[in-house]
Structure formats: structure tokens, C-alpha cells
Chains A and B, each alone.
Chain A
Amino acid sequence: MGNMIKTIDVTDSLTNLKDACDLENGRISGKIFYDKTIYEQELEKVFARCWLFVAHESQIPKTGDYITTTMGEDEVIVIRQKSGGIKVFLNACPHRGNKVCFAESGSTRGFICNYHGWSFNVEGNLVGQHESGVYEDSDFDKSQWGLKEVAKVDSWKGLVFATFDPESPSLQEYLGPMTWYLDALFDNQEGGTEFVGGCIRSTYECNWKIAAENFVGDILHAGWTHDSAARAMLGGAVAKVSDFEESYSVNWNGHGYEFALDTVGNVAVLGESALNKYLHTIKPSVAERLGDFRSNMIGSVSSCTIFPNFSFLPGQNTVRVWQPRGPNKIELFTWVVVNKSAPEEVKEKWRKGAMMTFSPTGVFEMDDGENWEYCTKTARGRVTSQQDLFVGLGMDTLLTDTPLPANVYEGQLNEANSRAFYQYWFDMLNAKSWSEVPDRNLGKKEAE
């Protein structure tokens, strides 16, 4: 079919990947944050193959509602269909390649290219052109020239993902048992979640992996990096993570979630007692819905990244994508997620609180940016970039006797998730096909 996306050939691994990481010995090389040829490989082997977050269902409730975003550096339109489903198209006219939708969101009956007036309906079909007669004279087959549709679109509890690769595993298989943990934030109440309106975008001069890895399993930085913000919001230091009696780092296919079981550690830093109270109020019903264990995770000290670049913080309720824009640049798209059933005043406090803490003006995020940028920029140095970086905390902490699903490691102050993230990244870059991606998962596929 003409409207099906043309898949790209995966080129051979480059020698630049040699010595990129040695995770069994807990080390990575600084060059992975700056090397242009590695970045080009990432666009092809990671972003053109993996499932990428593109929207929340609540952003496009009605037929013709759309948002535009990017998958890697590829621009796409995410649009609700009459059937209730969602389609994702390349935001590029199949005639000369011009962008067909310049708005970030809206509602429409179709898209008309500004260049030669090619007109597409909500289903992506080409329905007309300026001077359409000349196309007819050339035996033009309209049915072959619709907007190019991505290979697969699927969703989990309101989170819509898409992939360019028809060979990719199903979303369910890709996420694996991580869905069990995702539900602690995205399905803890009847009706699920919704995004607050709008999207705040900012630009960092950092490599996308630095940011994604920070959320995959680096709570270690919080107590130090964010001391100033915690004192400003709480009047004291953040909770000492090493004091928690029970906490975990779990991962699967490079995704990672690190969490404590303190229920409100994350939400507390918003400095809004009404939000702590809301979580305590819903906790018994969460326990009924998801069990006691996950009812302790709804706003606890925790963070998560779904490989490669979708991250969120339960409690602060910030949801984000680290959009790659070159080896040393990202655009950060952020949204705020709330339970659909939450009282309006609770949603409003989250809208403000998430931005007060985690946004370009957020008192917490302020101190992340400089760290991430200079983790990247130091690798400009030819010699510096060849040096080993340490990622070896918690080497022998795998829990083999646990009812929890996924690869479960003891403790949050642990770099197991970071290692798993870089390992999966490395495996994807080296694999010419999905069947060549080694299965390194050790844990259970389902909770016991």
C-alpha cells in the first residue's frame, strides 16, 4: 500500500561503538554523549524501531482532534479517527515533503498542504489538489499518495505509543511487566488519568540519554542536587533515601522504575497539603484496586523512564519526553497528569505544583539542567570523551526470591536501572533485527 510507511535499512554497527560501554564492570564511555556517528545510529536503530510515546488519549478525545509531536527527529501528526482509534502520520506531504500541519494541537476535518494544495482527510487519504485536472491527465493514482502512516499505534491506560517498525514486538511485549508498575500512577482510580491542557517545551544542550537515565533510576542525585529546592518548598532537606527500610529498582527491556513505598514522598515537595491528603484519601481504594503494595507507590519517592525517552514522576505528576535534537541537544516536552476523577481543586493544585517544581521555571528542575548540560559538554574534549564513567552501584543486588514482576533489585540507591538502560541501548545499536536483541530479562513476567 502506498500509504504504508517505507521502512529504513539498518546499517552495520560502526566501530565507534567499540568500548562504548562495559556494563558487567559498571562503566560507560563519555563518548556516547557526544559522538555524532553514534547519534545517527540512535535515530535509526533506537528511535526508528522502538515504541515511542506520542500522546495521551485525553488530549484528542473527539474525531479530528490532533496533536503534533516528533518520534526521534521525525515530525508526526497524532489524530483521533471516526472509529475511535488513533492514527499517526508523518507530518510531511508526499508531494514535495512540506510540513502539512504547522499547529501543535487543534481539531480539524483534514490537512491541506500550503505548497500545492494537496488535501488529506482525517484518515490520511489524499482527497484533492489544487488544479486536480493535471493529475488526472497524468494517470495519477490518488489512493497511493496519502499521508504516510506509522507501522503500529497502541496504548496502555491512556498512554499512546507508536513505532515506525512493523517488525517491532507488540507494545505489551515491549513494555512487559513494567505495565504492572505503570498502573500505580496511570490506573489507580476508576476512569484513569488525563493531561492538563497545554505543553511546556524547553531546550537543553544535553544528550537525551543523560536525562532519560536520570529518571530511569537516579534518585541518588535528588538529595544533593535538589537540596535548595527542597529547603525552599519544605523548609528542610529532602527525605534521606538511605533511611527507607524498603525500596526497589526494577527494570525490563531498558525501561526502569525506582521507588520507595512511602506513599507521599514525591507529592510532599509540591508543598500542598491538599495533595498529600488526596492521596491518603484515595489510598484505600487503590489498595482494593491494585493491592496494598502498589497503593504505597502512588506519590512515593520514585521515578520512571520507558525506553528510550518517555519519563514521569509519580506525585509531582510531571510527564515528559526528551526529544533528541542532535547528540548534544534535546527539546523537552512536559505535561501534567491527573486522575480524571480527582476534584477540580486537586487537579488545579497539581497543575500549578508540577510546574512550580518540574518545568523550566521549576525550583527542582533548575538545578538539573546545568548538570545534564555539562555531563554532555565535557565530552567535547577528545581525551575526556574517551574516559570511563562509573555506573557500578549495586552490582550484586538482584532479588531472585521476590513475588514482584520484572528484574527486581534491592534499593533505590542503585545503578542497576541505569546499567540496564545503557545495556538495552547498546543491544539495540548492535542488533540488525529485533531477533538479534538479546533477552537479558531475569525476572518474572507477571506478579505473583
Chain B
Amino acid sequence: MTALYDELRPVSAEQHYRVSHFLNYEYRLLDDERFDDWLALMHEEVHYWMPGIENRRRENRLEHGFYAADHMAYFDDSLRDLGRRVARFQQPSAWAENPATRNVHQLTNVEVYYGETDGEYIVHSTFQSVRSRGLDEEYVIYGRREDLIVQDGDSFKIKKRLILIPNATLTCKNINTFL
């Protein structure tokens, strides 16, 4: 979002509370491995995108600076793709998920703005995902997020999610969670 602050359209304190509460709830579902409930929060046209980060010089910037839509990505998912990832987590033969990974997802710096159409909200935030496996493995992923969420009755659905980590090399072997 490139608009200057006085051109932005932040939502009311009450609406801000509702949206950020929803996103905190979403993260708790992941910590509790309630993947089906989590998947139900996704819009049927969801685009869940976490591009690969490329360490380029300023004069050689890509489409979006350090990432591009047609380049490799960690996630570039539709609802079907997310469903397949969830299906793997739920297999008894997902050997590397048993014992379970213990997750803590945190969301901070939440800014909520009105979107282009009624009932759409643009949410900027930062996140921290801490995972621990086995006795002593710990992996922390920090990043910035931009979500497009839409009102759905008394709740919301996630229609777009852009996840940007600062790292050009992931400092762990995998991302066996959602961010």
C-alpha cells in the first residue's frame, strides 16, 4: 500500500477489534492443529501466496522488488492446494508429524483498512511463528503479511494472503505449518 497515511481509510476501533480478534482466532486454530476448522476460514477463491525471496541489487529489482509472481514460491496455493497440505498433516503415516510439532503463532502490528468494496478489509500485520519438535529443535520464522478478508455473516473469510519473510535462505528444513 503506497498511499500516504492521511489517504488511508482505517476502520473503526470496534471493527478493528473484530478483524484482529478473528485473525488471532485463526492462529489459535493452527496452534491447536484444528486444520479442518482453519480451512473453513478460507474463501473459495483464496490465493495463499508466500513468494521466495531473492537477494537482488536495487538496480536489478524484480516485479515486486525482491520477489515476482512467476518465480518460485513456498506457497502459491488455491483452496485445493491448501486442502492437500492439510490432508498430509492428517495422515497417520505423516511420520515427521508424530510426535507432533508444537506451535506458537503470534500476530502483531495489525492495521485494518476498508477495502475497495463493501465488506472487504485489507489487513497489514507482522507475525512470528515458533515451532518446536523433538526435545530441542526450535525454529522461528518472522515476517510481514498482507491479507484481504471479506465479511461472511458474523465472521470473515480469508481471500488473499501475502506472506513475506525477510530471509533469502530459510534457516530451517521446512515449514510444516501455515503462516
Which A residues lie at the B interface, using CB under 8 A?
A: 102-108, 196-205, 225, 227-229, 231-233, 271, 331, 334-336, 348, 351-352, 355-356, 359-361, 363, 365-367, 369-371, 373
Contact = CB atoms under 8 A, between A and B. Distances in A.
B74 A229 contact: no
Interface stretch (B12-20, B50-58, B106-114, B115-123): B50-58
Contact of A196 (B55, B71, B174): B71
B84 A360 contact: no
B176 A366 contact: yes
B72 A107 contact: no
Contact of A107 (B60, B76, B133): B60
A40 B174 CA distance: 27
Contacts of B64: none
Given A355-B76, A360-B170, A231 B93 contact: yes
B94 to A, nearest CB: 4
A334 B52 CA distance: 11
B90 to A, nearest CB: 8
Contacts of A108: 57, 60
Contacts of A196: 70-72
A348 B93 CA distance: 30
Given A108-B57, A359-B74, 13 more contacts: A103-B55, A105-B56, A200-B52, A201-B170, A203-B171, A229-B88, A232-B87, A233-B84, A334-B72, A352-B73, A355-B74, A366-B88, A370-B173
Contacts of B169: 201-203, 331
B59 to A, nearest CB: 8
Nearest to B94: A228
A366 B85 CA distance: 11
B91 interface: yes
Interface string B89-104: 0011111110000000
A369 B57 CA distance: 32
B75 interface: yes
A199 B67 CA distance: 11
Contacts, number: 132
A366 B68 contact: no
27 contacts: A103-B60, A105-B60, A196-B71, A197-B70, A198-B52, A200-B74, A201-B168, A201-B170, A202-B170, A202-B173, A202-B174, A203-B169, A203-B173, A225-B95, A228-B88, A228-B92, A232-B84, A336-B72, A348-B70, A352-B81, A359-B72, A360-B172, A361-B74, A363-B84, A366-B174, A366-B176, A369-B174
Contacts of A271: 84
A198 B174 CA distance: 18
A348 to B, nearest CB: 8
B71 A197 contact: yes
A360 B173 contact: yes
Contacts of B88: 228-229, 231-232, 363, 366
A369 B54 contact: no
Contacts of A200: 52, 72-74, 170
Contacts of A225: 95
B175 interface: yes
Contacts of A202: 169-170, 172-174
A352 to B, nearest CB: 5
Interface in B151-179: 168-176
Contacts of A352: 73, 76, 81
Nearest to A205: B173
Interface string B111-139: 00000000000000000000001000000
A128 to B, nearest CB: 19
A198 B172 CA distance: 19
A363 B74 CA distance: 11
B174 to A, nearest CB: 5
B72 A227 contact: no
Contacts of B96: 366-367, 369-371
A212 B158 CA distance: 40
Contact of A367 (B55, B59, B95): B95
Q: Which 8 A-B pairs have the closest CB atoms?
A: A198-B71, A106-B60, A228-B91, A198-B72, A369-B173, A232-B88, A228-B94, A232-B87
* Best-buried of A204, A359, A366 by chain B (most CB within 10 Å): A366
A199 B174 contact: no
B129 to A, nearest CB: 13
Contacts of A351: 70, 72, 76
B142 to A, nearest CB: 16
Contact of B175 (A205, A361, A370): A361
A159 B93 CA distance: 37
Contacts of A367: 94-96
Contacts of B176: 366
Contact of A356 (B55, B81, B172, B173): B81
Contacts of B168: 104, 201
B169 to A, nearest CB: 4
B130 to A, nearest CB: 17
A335 B72 contact: yes
A336 B170 CA distance: 18
Given A203-B169, A352-B76, A367-B96, A103 B56 contact: yes
